[in-house]
Every structure is written in C-alpha cells, then in structure tokens.
Amino acid sequence: MFHLAWFTNPRAHGWTANGADRWAGNDILPERWQTLDFLKDMARQLESACFDFIMIEDHVVLTNDKQNLEPRIDPMIVMSVLSQVTRRLGLIGTFSSSFYPPFLLARQIASVDHVSRGRAGWNVVTSSEDWAARAFGRDKQPPHDERYAIADEMLDLIKQLWDAWEEDPFEMSAETGRYVDPTKFREFEFEGKYHRSLGPLNVTRSPQGRPAICQAGSSPAGRDFAAKHSDVILCSTFGRNSVPALKEFRDDIRERMVRHGRDPDEAKVMFLISPVLGDTLAAAQHRYDEIVGMTPTILAQRLGRLTLHTGLDWTKFDLDAPFPDIDPASVEGFQGFVASIKAKAKGGQTLREALSEQETTSLKLIGTPEMVADQMEAAIAEIGGDGFLMHARPLTRRYLAEILDGLVPLLQKRGLVRSTYETTTLRGHLAAF
C-alpha cells in the first residue's frame, strides 16, 4: 500500500496570466478563496478519499516579480479553520524557521494539534528570500547551509518545548485549588548558538506529543536535516521524469536516517505528482500539452518562479543557448531544484527546452485513470515506497473530481491505498503502513 497526500496553497487557483481556467468557475473570486470556502470543500473531499494529509504551502512575502503576484492567507489560520470542518485529515502547514520565534511557533502548532485532536504537522522551510528578511527587520538571509544549522537548533528547542509537559497534568482539585499539578512539567532554559528560550509552553502536551515534522530539502544539507528530524519528506525532481532518480533519493534519505540512529521506516517519502487525466490517452496528452504550453506569459511565469526559488536573475540568460552551467552549491535558494533541472538538461537542452516541461513534479503521469493507476503502482513497486503528494495543475473542482472520484477509487479497489482511516491522528495515518 502507499500513502496519498495533497499539496496546495491558500490563494486563487485556476487563475493564470492567460485568464481563468475554463473550469475554475467562481473559485477564483476573492470572496471564495479568501474566506477559505473552496479550501474547506476541498479538505472535506480529501478526507472522504482518506488522504493522509493536506499540505499548505507558504511564502511569507509577495515576490518581487510584479507580473506574478500571489496574495495568500496565513497557513496557521488555514489549519485552524480546516481542523473544524474535518475529523481525520492531517493538516500540515508551512512555517519558516527564519521568521517565527521558536516559542511562538511551538505554542501555535501545539495549539492546532489540540484543536484538531492530533492532526497537526509542520513543513519546515528555511526561506532564501532576502526581501522576506527585510520584511522581518533584517538585512538579508544567512547562507544556505547555515539556514539549515539554524533550523536544526530550532527543532531541538521546539522538541524540548513540546516534550516538557507530562501526559496528564490536570489536578482539578477543589481541595488544593489547583487546576494543574505544578510537578507535571519540566522548566528549562535553552541557550543555543542561535536561539534562547525558557520553557515550558503554556500549552499542555498536545495529542501527538510532537506534531509531525515535514521537510522538502534536496541538497545534501537539506536531506541531512530531513533525515534527522522528519516524519514526512517531500520529494520533487522538478520535472526530471525518472523513477531511478526517485529511488536514489529515497534510498539516500533512508541511509542518512540510519546514520542519525533512526529506523528508516519512521519517515515516509512522498513524491510530488500532477497527474493529467482524460478519457483516452490522446485526450489526456492534449490537455497536458495545453497545460505546459509555452505562451509568452507562461514562459515569463516560469522564469519568475526560477528567479524566486534560486535568487538568480534568469532573465539575463539566453533562452536558446545550452542550459547555463551553474553550480547548485553556489545558489542560496533551492539547490536541489537547480541540480535537478541541470541534470535534466544534460543532453544539450536549451533553457527554453528545459522550461517547456512541467517543472515541479517527479513523474509525468498522463492518461486514463487506469493507465495512471498502473504507472503509480509500478513506480512505487520499483522505488520501494512510500507514497505521492498530489499537486493539481490547475486546481479546479473538476480536477479534484477527476482525481478523487476517478483515480482514487481505482487505487482503492486494487488495495493500493486506504479506503478507511485506521487511526485518528496524522502520525497514526503515516505509521499505519
């Protein structure tokens, strides 16, 4: 069996610079997504399909790419709201280790774990954008590997904050007049290289104890961080459509986990996919071609995304020259992203050709639901585990219906994914198989 999860963000979907997707309907209206109406419907549907979790992507500031501005809603608020319209679905929010004081973040995530009865998770990102640093009163972001060192220390502190309370601290005694037994938590001072704090939290131990940790780095420092701390690891080969590359990633993470003294089965590696379905292969292929088609505005969007993720200005490169020879380790942004597109372009691709592929997923899945189910089954069998993180492109109610009412029931019928939840917590869902 394998796991399924959903990747999205609280912003207008189905909206492109070319106009709205013909199936996006009213969901692109500000009052439909900014009130989370669409997201609430989506979360309920994902829960009916027994997904492990919904993952809420985030960037804390607008990009400086004025053509592709993406206003959004804060993920902590989204998780809180979704926790109240679902009962089983895991809720993972993205929070940057660079911009939250550890005490505040530990407190908020533990609070969401309480109100969701054990379904909260944290996607740890370190954020490379200097303009985000400036929004938070700093000049610039620390270098790539140091950001992971800062996050590593933050995780050590946050785990101590989450661990400080014993399971049942409630005395509730009219005789002593105490609601909480003061011996049931550990007071401590944390003095690290980057962080200082005083525990415990004023939130008691949450249902999961430690909400699930999720991470998506693919550079050596990112993989090491993920192997040390994560319960879920998200993997994209950014368009390098290769099962061996996914297997290499998972095997490497598992080896690193062993080096950190962990059982590799403790973490699930989830591969990012955006299946494109149709009644026939030709119909699906036609839709795929439409989605990835390189109009000038789509090209500008992709260059903008590359610039956002890498911190380099990609508009200065010749689109029709061989892919630029950039050392991934010299990039302060997503190093794994650069390494992957560079590997993909190795056969002499130009920058334009490299951009013409759907660049953020791991496996190209195009066809009828049966064909895509076959490919997913074969890929997991070859890789060895653990599941898929689905990303709609574009995200519309039609896309949701195709996946959740078309593809997922087929996978369920084959016994490849769950048909009912085995447990009530996110950690429980992840550990179920």
Task: Kindly calculate the radius of gyration of the chain based on its CA atoms and give it in whole angstroms.
Answer: 22
- The minimum distance between CB 43 and ligand FMN, in angstroms, equals 17
CB 338 within 8 A of CB 363: no
Of 14, 75, 5, which Cα lies nearest the Cα of 46? 5
Instruction: Report the residue from 127, 141, 310, 375 that binds ligand FMN according to the rule CB under 6 A.
Output: 127
- Does 392 sit near ligand FMN (CB under 6 A)? no
- The minimum distance between CB 334 and ligand FMN, in angstroms, equals 3
Distance of alpha carbon 192 from alpha carbon 386, whole angstroms? 35
Instruction: Report the residue from 21, 27, 52, 58 that binds ligand FMN according to the rule CB under 6 A.
Output: 58
- The minimum distance between CB 227 and ligand FMN, in angstroms, equals 12
Which residues within the stretch 266-295 sit at the binding site for ligand FMN (CB under 6 A)?
Answer: 272
- Does 59 sit near ligand FMN (CB under 6 A)? yes
CB 358 within 8 A of CB 302: no
- The minimum distance between CB 98 and ligand FMN, in angstroms, equals 10
Helix (H, G, I), strand (E, B) or coil at 358: coil
Which residues within the stretch 139-198 sit at the binding site for ligand FMN (CB under 6 A)?
Answer: none
CB 79 within 8 A of CB 112: yes
- The minimum distance between CB 222 and ligand FMN, in angstroms, equals 2
Per CB under 6 A, the segment of 38-46, 152-160, 210-218, 368-376 that binds ligand FMN is 210-218
Which residues within the stretch 316-355 sit at the binding site for ligand FMN (CB under 6 A)?
Answer: 334-337
- Read off the tokens for 5: 């999860």
Beta-strand (E) ranges in 219-331? 232-235, 268-273, 276-277
- The minimum distance between CB 181 and ligand FMN, in angstroms, equals 39
- Does 199 sit near ligand FMN (CB under 6 A)? no
Pattern 8-27, binding to ligand FMN, x per CB under 6 A? --------------------
Q: What helix, strand, coil percent values describe the chain, rounded to 5?
A: 45, 15, 40
Residue 66 to residues 19, 163, 296, 300, 304: CA-CA distances in angstroms?
Answer: 17, 44, 16, 11, 9
C-beta of 219 vs 307, nearer to ligand FMN: 219
DSSP codes of every residue in 158-183: HHHHHHSB-S--EEEETTTTEEE-TT
- Does 217 sit near ligand FMN (CB under 6 A)? yes
- The minimum distance between CB 192 and ligand FMN, in angstroms, equals 21
- Does 222 sit near ligand FMN (CB under 6 A)? yes
Instruction: Report the residue from 45, 68, 94, 307 that binds ligand FMN according to the rule CB under 6 A.
Output: 94
- Does 57 sit near ligand FMN (CB under 6 A)? yes
Distance of alpha carbon 411 from alpha carbon 2, whole angstroms? 10
Task: Give the Cβ contact number of residue 208 at 10 Å.
Answer: 24
Instruction: Report the residue from 208, 236, 368, 375 that binds ligand FMN according to the rule CB under 6 A.
Output: 236
Distance of alpha carbon 247 from alpha carbon 241, whole angstroms? 12
Helix (H, G, I), strand (E, B) or coil at 196: strand
C-beta of 28 vs 272, nearer to ligand FMN: 272
Instruction: Report the residue from 98, 141, 219, 396 that binds ligand FMN according to the rule CB under 6 A.
Output: 219
DSSP codes of every residue in 266-291: GSEEEEEE--EE-SSHHHHHHHHHHH
- Does 388 sit near ligand FMN (CB under 6 A)? no
Q: Which residues bind ligand FMN (CB under 6 A)?
A: 7, 57-59, 94, 125, 127, 216-219, 222, 234, 236, 272, 334-337, 389
